[in-house]
Amino acid sequence: MPNPNTSSFPYTPATDAILTVASDNAHTTLGSDINTTVQSIAVVDTSNFAVPCLIVIDGEVILAGGKSGNTFTNCTRGFLSSTVVSHTSATDVYGYILAYHHNQLAAEVTAMSNYIIDSDLSGFKKSENLLTFSENFSNVYWSTSSGATVGVQPQGGWPLEYLVNGSPAYYLVEGASLGLNMISATPTGLVSGNSYVFSVYLKWDGNKQWVAIGQHLAGAGSEARLAWFDIANGVLGQVGSDAEAAIVSVGNGWYRCFVVTNCTSNFYQAFDICLSTGNGASLPYLGTSADNVLIAAAQVESGVLSGTMSYVKTNGTPFSFTNGGDLILDEGDLS
């Protein structure tokens, strides 16, 4: 039976919130009755519990995100698919060490081991971005369709919340006609049969919730190489049959969205950022010229999602570097 847990690495660090903290002989009792919707749970004593942790009450597993005094806070009820039920005062509350602890740790170790084998065991490390302009979306290298436009930075630059580690954001604004509301660029040097990871930083600005990215084979009308992202809530939506995808929060409401596709000899090899009206919704739609999304720092690199994922900025020339030893390229790294 395979490990049921999924690693956070390499998309985000394996924090205590993901691994959870276990405590020896942690036990208390409920301080009052709780119903099925309560997310703050008062107990007699929390001093033996380190948080975030897993607690068990009458068979229900609960992820306690924090504690305040003798109250567990930010609780996720029915964790690990356990049944959410009401509980009465004085019921035992245990801080068991569950299979989840071992499985999550094993998943992280496995992911790290694979990363080392894939990336570093040979003594070689790679940094790559096959896009000619990774941040300047107003450059003619990036093409828009159906009247979609790209809004440049305001005079004086963006406020901090509109930057990703100093990299500028641009508005991708939908058009007012029926069609594809997207921006596209074709990377350099794609090889038929190889896999490529396309990533872009996206931020919800109050209106356009869904964005699809990937290779939209416009000529064939196929959406098999796209994935949809809910950037208002940081949720991965529908993923095409010929794609893999992931979404990672990087702070300030920004998400780095990834799509992996396999290059073919198809005439259309551009990577697209498409505004969408919903999860899996048909991409041609009638826009209003009012809705938009914030985009920043795009990248295309060869490989799969277990690769390095370090962001590399380009400004007029694609970049691909492989070398051995201890060379580390930090400039422009948003990971």
Question: What CATH code is assigned to 124-324?
Answer: 2.60.120.260
First to last CA, the chain: 33
Domain boundaries, the chain: 23-96, 124-324
Distance in angstroms (rounded) separating the CA atoms of residues 13 and 21: 15
State yes or no: pLDDT of 324 exceeds 90.
no
One-letter amino acid of 82: S
pLDDT tens-digit readout, 156-179: 444 444 555 566 788 898 888 888
- pLDDT the model gives residue 153: 56
pLDDT tens-digit readout, 36-87: 999 999 999 999 999 999 999 999 999 999 999 999 999 999 999 899 999 9
Average pLDDT, the chain: 83
- pLDDT the model gives residue 242: 86
- Provide the sign of the torsion angle of the four alpha carbons 160, 164, 166, 169, taken in this order: negative
Distance in angstroms (rounded) separating the CA atoms of residues 88 and 79: 19
Q: Which residue has the higher pLDDT, 164 or 285?
A: 285
Residue 224 near residue 242 (C-beta atoms within 8 A) = yes
- pLDDT the model gives residue 329: 38
Peptide bond into 10 cis (omega under 30): yes
pLDDT tens-digit readout, 81-136: 899 999 999 999 999 999 999 999 998 898 777 766 555 444 444 678 899 999 88
- pLDDT the model gives residue 116: 64
Place 150 in a pLDDT band, splitting at 50, 70 and 90: confident
Place 180 in a pLDDT band, splitting at 50, 70 and 90: confident
State yes or no: pLDDT of 330 exceeds 70.
no
- Number of neighbouring beta carbons within 10 Å of residue 120: 12
Angle at 247 between CA 259 and CA 220, to 5 degrees: 30
State yes or no: pLDDT of 252 exceeds 70.
yes
Place 192 in a pLDDT band, splitting at 50, 70 and 90: confident
